[in-house]
Amino acid sequence: MKKYSLLLATALLIFSACSKKETPSPVVVTPPVVVVDTMLYKMMPFPVGAAVNISLMKNNVRYSGIVTKEYNSVTAENAMKFGALHPSQNTYNWADADYLVNYAQLGNKRIHGHTLIWYTSLPTWVTNFVGDSAAWENLMKTHIQTVVTHFKGKVASWDVVNEHFEDTGIPRNSVWRQKLGNDYVARCFQYAHEADPSALLFYNDYGHEYSAAKRTAILNMITDFKARGIPIHGTGMQFHMTVNTSDANITAAITGAASTGLKVHISELDIRLNPSAAQNIAYTSFLGDQQALRYKYVVKTYNTLPVSQKFGITTWNVTDADSWIPGWQGAPDWPLPFDANYLRKPAYKAMIEGGK
């Protein structure tokens, strides 16, 4: 009996060993690689724009590609300035500005107009103009109303007057002020409003973040305009700043502008890494990270404003290769969120983090 049991157990063991199915080796399924790329404007809780160079928009697909993909607002870096649009008294040159307006309309992007009246970038026919104050008033009014009317319904907002104040807070002794007195600024807003009552009208300037005197002068002018019923809807802070600009100064500028109750546009943001204009300096990842911290702080602080006041943030051009800064300071710099190879820098991600 014992012998039979042993045989049976052995047979069962052999049977079970033979009948054991081969375990199939696991099939490794590799998920398809889906690259979910970011688009800056889709990640931001307010409009985000860039000032653009029309020649690069037309001729450089990497440049225009970034603008198309990353931004939902554009400003002409130069194409809507007095000298560009109105090169002689009876000649208007709309071609470049119209190109940008058409591009923006086709791509559902907002276009911000920059700038109707500024003390510089004027054509020689204006700087050489001879006439009494009525003739100067007519010149200024005609320019404003012709330009605003041309773009009516297409350009929804304007920097009406740019840089009226010195850093000390006194009005700049511009040709406009010399010929027309200090209150020309208010009349520019009235003329623009007459031409397009639905356009949002901004006063644009730099230095809010480093000159309390200038900031106060700007805020006082806006308070005065509001009291007098002058049509002003927003304040543009250029924010051409340096990597050393402090948190406190950035906060003071943003909260000051917001205290007007008007819309706030950070209108020309760039952050210099070489403020001492050193010649033998190279971009390093340390510098890029320092810059990213500033970009993040600007966006984060701005994002605390009420939704109705957040007109948006515009950087002044797109990549480090195209920025006005190196030419202006006569030294290398890397002030923008894209590098000269059209690649995103740490500042790009920092903007997105600041907007969360």
Task: List contacts with ligand G3I (CB under 6 A).
Answer: 77-78, 81, 121, 162, 238, 268, 324
Beta bridge partners of 205: 237
Structure tokens given for 166:
């010195």
DSSP character string of 216-275: HHHHHHHHHHHHHT----EEEE--EEETT--HHHHHHHHHHHHTTSSEEEEEEEEEES-T
CA dihedral (306, 307, 308, 312) in degrees, to 10, reads 110
Is 188 or 352 the residue whose CB approaches ligand G3I more closely?
188
Residue with Cβ nearer ligand G3I (121 or 223): 121
Q: Indicate the residue among 268 and 346 with the shorter CB distance to ligand G3I.
A: 268
Minimum gap (Å) between residue 327 Cβ and ligand G3I = 8
166 catalytic per annotation: no
- Point out the residue whose Cβ comes nearest to ligand G3I: 324
Nearer Cβ to ligand G3I (11/95): 95
User: How near is the Cβ of 307 to ligand G3I at its closest, in Å?
Assistant: 27
Residue count of the chain, please give it: 356
Catalytic residue among 163, 166, 194, 209: 163
State the nearest-atom distance from the C-beta of 77 to ligand G3I, in Å.
Answer: 5
As measured in angstroms, the least distance from the Cβ of 81 to ligand G3I is 6
Q: Which residue has the tokens 């600009």?
A: 245
Which amino acid makes up residue 134?
A: A
Catalytic one of 70, 77, 209, 268: 268
CA–CA distance, 68 with 209 (Å, rounded to integer) = 30
Element (H, E) at 160: strand 157-162
Q: Is 70 a catalytic residue?
A: no
Active site residues: 163, 268
